[in-house]
Chains A and B, each alone.
Chain A
Amino acid sequence: MASASGSVLAKTIANRSKRTIYRTPLIPRPVLVGGLFVIALIGAYPYYGTNAYVLSLLGKFLCYAIFALSIDLIWGFTGILSLGQAVYFGLGAYFIALSLKLNYALTHPTRYGGKIPDFMEWNGLTSVPHFMQPLMNLKTAVVCALIVPTLLALLFGVITFKRHIYGVYCAVITLAESLILQEFIIEYQAYTGGFNGITDYSNYVSPRFLWFILAVAIIFFLGARLLTHSKAGTVLKSIRDNDLRAEFLGYNVANYRIFVFCVSSFMAAAAGAMYAAWVGLVSFLDTGPVFSIEAVIWTAVGGRGTIVGPFVGTFLVKGAEFFLSGVLAEWWQILVGGLFIFVVLAMPDGIVGAVARWGARRRLALDNIARKDELKKYYFQLRLRSERSAQPEKEAP
């Protein structure tokens, strides 16, 4: 008898210490279903939609979403707040835009017959400068657009993270970096188009290119999920939560930071490159801190530290901007400012975070009910046992 109740006790204790560690699947089912639905919705738009403007918006939003994802990787997962992430986005965009513009100028001469981009002619250049010749080849430009920002990020990461410069300092330095790049672009307008940016070249707004952007977005989504769901991802999160402890546990915090910063910059550069080819207008605003911090807010609204969050947040905020900014005019800006404050004060986990927390709470509640049942059984057994032992033993005369 005692051994039987003992086994119940042991089982309960074993169950209790199991604590049902819940490891999320790589792609949770709701995300999979919703994601496939959204992918189908966007991918099939050329078939059922007729509005060219909506088509162009879709591609634009996807690029923004990838950019937000890149910010989420460093900020949401690793805790590096960079206000200069747009530098990498903008560099990628400028390489592609320059290349397209150079090629466009070959077939569409300017008013005075020069085969160089119009902004170069306005600034007194007569031929394409030598260092820009390689960009005539679009493939070279694509490689440059992806590699140069990543290398810059590597350099930046080695300089700062190796010396434990992060947090506020990192934010301020990246902010300054971004501002200086902007001033550079405006100052050297003969090469960059200056204040007006690079515009009026043959951009690709076509269903096939939309599918390409969509495919890249899906690949980045999966890649980011794989990265953050792996052991390295756990280390990144531990760096975010307590970098000192991660360091003491033997992880090379600086290298992890540099790595994720480079990955993120690569993503941002790819987003920028596609953005330039899709939209057909690149200006200094696309490299500025305001753009970076806007993307930070999209991420925060969607949910930092989640991969779905940036996509949700970008489409929500940019969609709302599309519908409301015309109606509200100046008041839209106040709304955006309020959104910053609201997200920080009331919704630090964002929409996806709130939903995930609700799901977790529900699981916990179900779990608790199950555990309660088990405990009830256990106490029932105990009572049985005590009642039996309280009964006078019949065998003993």
Chain B
Amino acid sequence: MFTQSIITQFFNGFSVVAILIIAAVGLAIIFGVAGVINMAHGEFMMIGAYVAAVVDKLGGNTLLAIPVSFAVVGALGLLVERSIIRWIYHRPLETLLATWGVGIILQTIVKLIFGPELYYVGTPKFLAGGFRLIGRLPFPWYRLFLIIVAAALMALVFYVIFHTDLGLQVRAVRRNRAIASCLGIDTARVDMTIFVFGSGLAGVAGAVLAPIKSVSTTMGFPYAVDSYMVLVLGGVGNLWGVVAGASLIGEAETILSFVFNNVIGELLVFLFIVIVIRIVPKGIFGYYERR
């Protein structure tokens, strides 16, 4: 019985991993390439979720909400980047403070517009219900959808970074900003594009997560913190680090939370992360990166 429960939790863990990947991937490229610590990432996700809620009210579904959220939150990211972030790229710790301020402002504005009550977004009809995986183990379709979305987002980011001209520039800027600039790459433009792209991905994450979470103004912050933990564990600047960090944290947290309880689970995962970065300070994949 216990083993079967553990296996159940293991499969449930996949959806948690998927959620973490979805939430962290946008942050990974913003943090990894542009070097900005975007504390408003959670709030960007929150706005993506609200956009999904509005789309839902207007009769659309999640599939429609994804591109709309991407556009809206991307535009918001463009606004934030052009007005604030571009002045402080060289002071990473202060981007943390400034974006924290952005987060507070966004939360308050959304609260003023939508009110403090929770919103619920329905899952799309064709994703309702679930199927049985092994034995009597239920697995909702929506979780499978989340896993597919996570894989698709990772594929998209990999494609953009490794198979487009923009990605080539991004990798060059990441490797050596000064030389890239000498070779005629407009590094400021690359930073801006990456920030907007990452923000858009945050919007997608919000839209996708809206049906499994009640949409509220404070929903984003925990995701932002989890995403940062994923990046710290997995290593910044290597996309496989996101996958590794999310897998470890997601599975460990799900199983440990089941064996003990939520808080102990999180504490153990935290200690695990601290021990790992004590051994490899740059994260699992960051450590092997060539300098």
Contact = CB atoms under 8 A, between A and B. Distances in A.
Contact of A172 (B91, B95, B232, B262): B232
B92 to A, nearest CB: 6
Given A165-B277, A171-B93, A180 B37 contact: no
Interface stretch (B54-62, B103-111, B141-149, B159-167): B103-111
Given A183-B262, A344-B97, A345-B87, A172 B278 contact: no
B274 interface: yes
A195 interface: no
Interface in A327-350: 330-331, 333-334, 336-341, 343-345, 348
A179 B267 CA distance: 10
Contacts of A343: 97
A167 interface: yes
Interface in A119-167: 159-160, 163-165, 167
Given A177-B270, A344-B97, A345-B84, A336 B104 contact: yes
A188 B263 CA distance: 9
Contacts of A173: 232, 273-274, 277
A81 interface: yes
B97 A297 contact: yes
Contact of B107 (A183, A293, A300, A333): A333
Contact of A341 (B101, B109, B112, B278): B101
A167 B228 CA distance: 13
B94 A337 contact: no
Contacts of A163: 277-278, 281
A209 B92 CA distance: 41
Contacts of A341: 84, 98, 101-102
B1 to A, nearest CB: 26
Which secondary structure dominates where chain A touches chain B? helix
Contact of B281 (A165, A172, A338): A165
Interface string B1-27: 000000000000000000000000000
A175 interface: yes
B63 interface: no
Given A180-B266, A183-B263, A184-B263, A348 B94 contact: yes
Nearest to A80: B93
B261 to A, nearest CB: 7
A175 B266 CA distance: 13
Contact of B37 (A171, A188, A330, A340): A171
Which secondary structure dominates where chain B touches chain A? helix
Interface residues of B, number: 41
B88 interface: yes
Nearest to B283: A169
B155 interface: no
Contacts of B229: 172, 176
Interface residues of A, number: 40
B119 interface: no
Given A164-B281, A330-B112, A187 B262 contact: yes
A168 interface: yes
B92 A337 contact: no
Given A171-B37, A171-B96, A345-B87, A179 B104 contact: no
**B87, B101, B102, B273: which has the most chain A beta carbons within 10 Å?**
B101
**B97, B225, B274: which has the most chain A beta carbons within 10 Å?**
B97
**A180, A187, A344: which has the most chain B beta carbons within 10 Å?**
A344
A296 interface: yes
B57 to A, nearest CB: 23
Contacts of B95: 344
Contact of B278 (A159, A168, A345): A159
Interface of B: 31, 37, 84, 87-88, 91-98, 100-105, 107-109, 111-112, 222, 225, 228-229, 231-232, 261-263, 266-267, 270, 273-274, 277-278, 281
12 contacts: A81-B93, A164-B281, A165-B277, A168-B93, A169-B281, A172-B228, A175-B228, A176-B273, A180-B267, A333-B108, A340-B97, A340-B101
Interface of A: 79, 81, 159-160, 163-165, 167-169, 171-173, 175-177, 179-180, 183-184, 187-188, 293, 296-297, 300, 330-331, 333-334, 336-341, 343-345, 348
